[in-house]
Amino acid sequence: MLLTFVVAAVLAVSTQAEPSPSPTAKRAACTVDSPEAAFDLSDCATVEITSFTVPNDTTITMSLAEGATITMTGEVTFASTVASGPLLTFQGTNVNFNGNGMMFNGNGADYWDGLGTNGGKAKPHPFIQIEASGTFQDFVAYNTPAQAIRVQPAANIGPLTITGVYVNNAAGDVGELGHNTDGFDVRGTDITIENCMVQNQDDCIAINDGQNILFQNNVCSGGHGMSIGSIATGDFVSGVVFSHNTVSNSMYGTRIKAQSAATTGAVTNVTWTGNTISGATKYGVLITQVCIRA
């Protein structure tokens, strides 16, 4: 069905001035072929990520130079780990990340037990965290242990666009072992997520806090659809547009959910337009003021 819904002083000195320090020159190019190589990228104008494996109890934070260009030419595989997550974090301002269709492999099958983050084997989450502004495009988050991508840019660093990303947790359907495998968990301002595909067993997108967020031309399959929340105390969501997305074979099409213990918070100015929902097993649209965390 086609769903369109709108919710509503200068100090003078006589001493000779010292010359200003010159800015640190950026290296022309850097290669990340191990976790150690990712340690200091702050002066790299371009970064190439090649194939490597991240060992147990190791996480990676890539702190990128302003305006850096990052490309992937190989797959990054994360071994089964006791680290808590995020396993991979991106930081930077106005960066341009192109995955070239390459994969971050989370080895989710080593963790999946049908319980997600509610019990059983500890599962690092989120798998990937984006704290940067700029553009992230064309990569695969594959078999994530639990929540796939947390989108949480630092404040006042500019807009962020995520495009052409594939969250592939389809294998978690086997035996209903995948659980809490959210595609995108979002907190922030001026965020666009477009032309992405999510196959999973939980929210395709969950917007928990923020404003000016656009989710458009995406495909969601097998999970819980497009969500706002769970809204907790102090969470405010405003200025969200869900436009021309396709949600199929999911528990819900779209929903707004709030935690039962929440005492303050609000959801305002949300627009749904031109979305297609099919095969919803529970509700096409669900709005609730109380939800038990699941």
- Over the stretch 158-216, which tens digit does the pLDDT of each residue have? 999 999 999 999 999 999 999 999 999 999 999 999 999 999 999 999 999 999 999 99
Q: Which domains does the chain have, with CATH numbers?
A: 27-230 (2.160.20.10)
Catalytic residue among 125, 179, 224, 244: 224
- Indicate whether 3 pLDDT > 70: no
% of the chain residues with pLDDT over 90 = 86
Average per-residue pLDDT for the chain: 92
Cα separation, 257 vs 289, whole angstroms: 6
What is the pTM (predicted TM-score) of this model?
0.90
CA 67 to chain centre: 20
Name, in order, each residue with C-beta under 8 angstroms of 229's C-beta and a sequence gap of 6 or more: 206, 207, 208, 235, 237, 255, 256, 257, 258, 259, 267, 291
Structure confidence by residue, pLDDT tens digits, 110-160? 999 999 999 999 999 999 999 999 999 999 999 999 999 999 999 999 999
- Span 244-254, average pLDDT: 98
Known catalytic membership, residue 224: yes
% of the chain residues with pLDDT over 70 = 89
Q: How many CB atoms lie within 10 A of CB 119?
A: 11
Cα separation, 106 vs 85, whole angstroms: 11
Cβ–Cβ under 8 Å, residues 70 and 64: yes
Cα separation, 230 vs 54, whole angstroms: 32
Cα separation, 182 vs 146, whole angstroms: 7
